[in-house]
Amino acid sequence: HPGMIIVLESTTYPGTTREVLLPKLGKEKGLQVGKDFFLAFSPERVDPGREDWTTLNTPKVIGGITEECSEVAAAWYSQALEKVVPVSSAETAELSKLLENTFRMINIGMVNELAIMCERLGVDVWEVIDAAATKPFGFMKFTPGPGLGGHCIPIDPLYLSWKMKAFQYNARFIELAADINTNMPRYVVSRVMDAFNERGLSLKGSTCLVLGAAYKPDIDDIRESPALDVIGLLQKKGAYVEYHDPYIPRLQTHDGLEMKSVIDVMDAVRNADCVIIITNHKVYDYQAILNEANFIFDSRNALGTQGKNNPKVDRL
C-alpha cells in the first residue's frame, strides 16, 4: 500500500528484487516505486552462535530500486542498527552477499583440497595452515573439514552460478569448489575405511560413533550438515552407526531413518570401534575421549597436538 517500505533480506541471485518483486508490488498494483512505495534489498548477515558480532553491530548493506528507496530504507534501519551501508542498487547489495558467501565457500574448498594433497604427500595439513597463518598480511586462515553445512555457504554461491548460465558464462571457481566440498564426506569415509584396513579390520559390521551432528560447533542447527552424509555413507558400507550431539537430540538421515543421540557419550566412545569427530563442540572432554576410544578419526583437528602421531588417531 502507499507509503510502505519493503525490504528483501533472503539471499538470492542478482536481479531478484527488481525482476521478481518489483512487477508484483508495483505495476500490478498501480503504484510507483520510489514515490508510492519503497523497495530495497538488504542481506541478512548473521553467524549463528557468535556473540561479538550481532545484528545490532554488524554493518547493514542496503540497496534500493531507486535512490529514494535506498534513502528511506537506510533511514528506517538506522533507527535500530549501529551502522548502515547504502549502495547504488539492489543488484549491488544482492551480489555483495553472494560474494561474501562465495569467498568463504571457495577458500574452504581450497583448504579441503589441500588436505587431500597433504595426505598423499605425507605432510600435516594443520601444521601447514598454522605456519602460513603466521604471515601478518596477505593471508586469511581457513581450515578443512568433513564438508560444508548450514543454509548459506553450501547453497548461496550456486545461485550466482545458475544466474550466469543465462549469460552463457560458466562460474568455474564456484562449481569446482562446490564439487570438492560436496565430496568431502565421501573422502572422510574412505579414510576411515583405509584406517580399518590398515588395522586388519572391516568397516562392515563395525560400530561407528559420529561425534557431533550440527553443521558447526556449539549450535543446534543441522541443516545441510556433513554429518548426515557421513552417517548415510557409513551405513551403506555396512557399519552400525550411532551419533552423539548435545544440541541435536534426534535427527533424520537422508534415507529417512530416525536416530536419537546416545545418552552416555563416554559409554558409546568405549563401545565403538571408531569414533569420528565431525563437529568439534567445546563441551566435549577430548582428553577423556582420546583415553577411552579404540580408534578416532578426527576431521576437525579437535584433538590438536594430542592427536598428532598418536597410533589411536587418524586426522584429516
Question: Could you give the residue numbers annotated as active site?
Answer: 152
Cell 592427536 belongs to 307
Strand 38-41, strand 5-8: pairing: parallel
Residue ranges of alpha helices (H) inside 166-300 are 172-182, 184-198, 226-236, 265-271, 286-292
Counting Cβ atoms within 10 Å, is residue 165 exposed (0-12), middle (13-18) or buried (19+)?
Answer: exposed
Distance in Å from the first CA to the final CA of the chain: 55
Residue 86: helix, strand or coil by DSSP? strand
Nearest-angstrom CA–CA distance, 81 and 58: 8
- Which DSSP letter does residue 82 get? S
Q: Are 143 and 107 in contact (CB under 8 A)?
A: no
Question: Which grid coordinates are listed for 36?
Answer: 508510492
Strand 258-260, strand 250-252: pairing: antiparallel
Residue 50: helix, strand or coil by DSSP? coil
Q: Are 213 and 222 in contact (CB under 8 A)?
A: yes
Nearest-angstrom CA–CA distance, 96 and 206: 47
Nearest to 299 by CA among 285, 313, 282, 283: 313
Question: Which grid coordinates are listed for 100?
Answer: 561474501
Residue ranges of alpha helices (H) inside 79-165 are 90-121, 125-132, 156-165
